[in-house]
Amino acid sequence: MIFLWVVLAIFLVFGLTVIFGAPYVPTRKPDVVDAFENLYPLKESDVVVDIGSGDGIVLRTAARYGAKAIGYEINPILVAISWLLARGNPRVTTRLANFWLTKLPHDTTVVYAFGVSRDIGRISAKLQKEALRLGHPIYLLSYGFELPGKKAIRRSKSHHLYEFR
Ligand SMILES: C[S@@+](CC[C@H](N)C(=O)[O-])C[C@H]1O[C@@H](n2cnc3c(N)ncnc32)[C@H](O)[C@@H]1O
């Protein structure tokens, strides 16, 4: 009986995140590597923020290039998994937070988004506002989705790269 309640609770937690944004589907690791090598070559000075960081695959990959990686994730189960998988890695931080209610760290250089089409326009508006607030450009790596009304500066088969000034 307890097992059934636990399974139900896990389904509920994963199901409820859909109200706030994209459901959990991880980016394929070769695609993240391709993005950080060919589309936006990541440097040690970069600070990558994944807005809905899931199990943290993007964060751990970014850290391998020497970058600082911060993830916001609304699902506490995924925050725990992400923390476990990156434990001991000083470059990776995962925060239990709703991205829509969060301000980007002042040193953010790249934002990673694997969203749903419903949210893409809203993500674009938020990043434009944040770039103005921070006073420096922010790059967006969007997995799968093009931003309406904004031209990508580069694209690959899986990602689009945008700049917000
Ligand atoms: C499509 S998955 C992408 C996971 C990861 N970024 C990757 O590429 O592997 C989207 C993630 O965003 C999380 N999420 C959805 N809405 C969110 C919100 N408002 N704030 C923070 N995380 C959110 C979901 O729980 C899910 O783990």
Give, for all 165 residues of the chain, the pLDDT tens digit: 888 998 898 888 888 888 888 999 999 999 999 999 999 999 999 999 999 999 999 999 999 999 999 999 999 999 999 999 999 999 999 999 999 999 999 999 999 999 988 999 999 999 999 999 999 999 999 999 999 999 999 999 899 999 999
- Residue 123 alpha carbon to ligand 1 centre in Å: 13
- Of all protein residues, whose CA lies closest to atom 15 belonging to ligand 1? 21
Q: Please give the pLDDT value at position 52.
A: 97
Q: Please give the pLDDT value at position 59.
A: 98
Query: Residues 47-67: pLDDT tens digits?
Result: 999 999 999 999 999 999 999
Q: Which atom of ligand 1 is nearest to the CA of 115?
A: 1
Q: Residue 142: what residue type?
A: S
- Residue 149 alpha carbon to ligand 1 centre in Å: 24
- Residue 37 alpha carbon to ligand 1 centre in Å: 23
Query: Residues 108-131: pLDDT tens digits?
Result: 999 999 998 899 999 999 999 999
Q: Please give the pLDDT value at position 54.
A: 98
Q: Please give the pLDDT value at position 28.
A: 96
Backbone angles phi, psi at 92, to 5 degrees: -110, 130
CA–CA dist 58, 105 (Å, integer): 17
Q: Please give the pLDDT value at position 17.
A: 83
- Residue 18 alpha carbon to ligand 1 centre in Å: 9
Tokens, residue 97: 């937070």
- Residue 31 alpha carbon to ligand 1 centre in Å: 17
Tokens, residue 145: 């989705």
CA–CA dist 3, 98 (Å, integer): 28
Pocket test for ligand 1, best of 99, 112, 141, 142 (most atoms within 8 A of CB): 99
Q: Please give the pLDDT value at position 20.
A: 86
Tokens, residue 105: 């760290």
Q: Please give the pLDDT value at position 19.
A: 86
Q: What predicted TM-score, i.e. pTM, was given to this entire model? A: 0.96
CA–CA dist 10, 118 (Å, integer): 24
- For the Cβ of 141 lying below 6 angstroms from any atom of ligand 1, the answer is no
Tokens, residue 107: 């040193």
- CATH code, residues 2-164: 3.40.50.150
Tokens, residue 68: 């600082």
